[in-house]
Amino acid sequence: MPETSPAASPYWARHVHAHRRPALLARGRIVTALRAWFAARDFIEVETGALQVSPGNETHLHAFATTLAAPDGTSSRLYLRTSPEFACKKLLAAGERRIVEFAKVFRNRERGALHHPEFTLIEWYRAGEPYGTLMADCAAILAVAAEAAGTKQLSFRAVRPIRSPNRNALPSPKHLRNLPASTSWRRCRAAKPTARR
C-alpha cells in the first residue's frame, strides 16, 4: 500500500499567513517587553532542561514520554516537562533570589480551544518576598503585555476581564495573609475565598 502524505496545512499559505502575521508580531513585542520588565527588576532569566527523569507528581498533568538512546545502545525513559517549577525551585534552594523562565512546556491529554499540548509558560520567583508583591507582578505583567500589544484593554473572545490594568490597585484578601512569603502566584491563585453569609 503506497504511503500518502498529509495534506499541506493552509496556515503556511502566504495569503493565510498575512492575516495571522499581526498576532505573530504582537507576540514578539510582548515577549520583548516582558523580558525588559523582568531585567529591570534584577531577575535572572534561566533556561532549565526540558527532559526530566520523572514525569512529576501532579496527578492532573500528563507528561509526554520519550526514549533516550545512548551511544552504547542502552536506552532510558525520559519525560518532557509539564512545568519548569521543580528545576526553578532547585535554583532557589541553591541561593538564587529572583529568577524567571519563558519555558516551553508539554502536556499530554490537553487539546481544545483553550489548551494545546505545547505552549510557552512564564514562571518567575521572588524568594523571601510577600505574596502581595507577586500579585503586583501579575497586574504589572498584564499591563506591560497590553501596552506592548498596543491596547489598554485585554480581551479574549469578547470577554474583557481587565479594563484598565492598574498596577497599584490590588486586593489584599484575608485568606492569603498566612501563606509563606515564597509561595508562588499559582498557589495564591488556587486559594479561593469562601462565600460569606
pLDDT in tens for each of the 197 residues of the chain?
455 556 667 778 888 889 889 999 999 999 999 999 999 999 999 999 999 999 888 888 999 999 999 999 999 999 999 999 999 999 999 999 999 999 999 999 988 887 899 999 999 999 999 999 999 999 999 999 999 999 887 776 776 655 444 544 444 444 444 444 444 434 434 433 333 33
pLDDT at residue 43, as a whole number? 98
Which pLDDT score is estimated for 78? 97
The angle formed by the CA atoms of residues 142, 148 and 154, to the nearest 5 degrees, is 45
How far is residue 38's CA from residue 43's CA, in Å, rounded to a whole number? 5
Residue 84 · residue 105 · CB < 8 Å = yes
Q: What is the pLDDT of residue 7?
A: 67
pLDDT of residue 159: 66
* Rounded Cα–Cα distance for residues 37 and 14 (Å): 34
The set of cell numbers assigned to 25 is 508580531
pLDDT of residue 68: 96
Cβ-Cβ contacts under 8 Å for 34 (sequence gap 6 or more): 102, 122, 141, 144, 145, 148
The model carries a pTM of 0.74
Q: What pLDDT is stored for residue 166 in this prediction? A: 52
